[in-house]
Structure 1
């Protein structure tokens, strides 16, 4: 099992210690909310997602490895029952809504550890599933 497989196993188990064991000493993770730099920021990012979606589960659909680069397509599912920070800076309180969102991760792996991770997902798809009106999503 390579580090990306271990990452998703730990992510789905919500095992922060095991998940952080997949990262190098100074990882960078970038997602729609912006970059998280360093172990503390990366751990906080994962904790915030797990608090917002305590049953979140990622199903890997495809994984492609090319040297140090690994790309993964997946579907993330879960019920929104906790505070979720939006990219607007607002925090969405529990809606109780179930979401299913397609996503894509890109990892850079060096010496068997993740040094860089980028995740992309359709924020509009997620926000609409959470019941946010379009007027709340823009300026």
Structure 2
């Protein structure tokens, strides 16, 4: 069973208060980013979408990887459909050859 949000927050605060950078960065971070689409957007298919000015909200999370007390890498994961849906787009339904 995954930890509750309260457990994760408590673990993160305890690590921050103890100045334990390794423990802080071992905690995954979940986020919600919101904004207004005011600039061009490059779609998965390579098309450039003109800015429609619509509101976008997308959930995501990232994981940090440490090496010698430094951040050696980060991985960000987000739901592309949450970006595409408000823009009236959908992900490509075919995989592999377009002719298949």
Residue correspondences, number:
75
Other-structure match for 1:74? 31
Question: What's the RMSD between the two structures over aligned residues?
Answer: 2.5
Structure 2 residue aligned with 1:121: 78
Give the TM-score, by structure 1 length.
Answer: 0.45
CA distance in 2, matches of 1:70, 1:113: 15
Structure with more strand by fraction = 1
Matches of 1:80 and 1:126, distance apart in 2:
10
The 5 Å alignment of 1:33-112 reads 67=23, 69-112=26-69
Q: Give secondary structure in 1 for the equivalent of 2:81.
A: helix
Relative to 1, partners in 2 of residues 1:98 and 1:108: Cα closer, same or farther, differing over 3 Å? same
Radius of gyration: which is bigger? 2
Q: What do the CA deviations read for 1:30-51 (whole angstroms, capped 9, x no partner)?
A: xxxxxxxxxxxxxxxxxxxxxx
Q: Structure 1 regions of 5+ residues with no counterpart?
A: 1-61
CA distance in 2: counterparts of 1:120 and 1:73, whole angstroms: 9
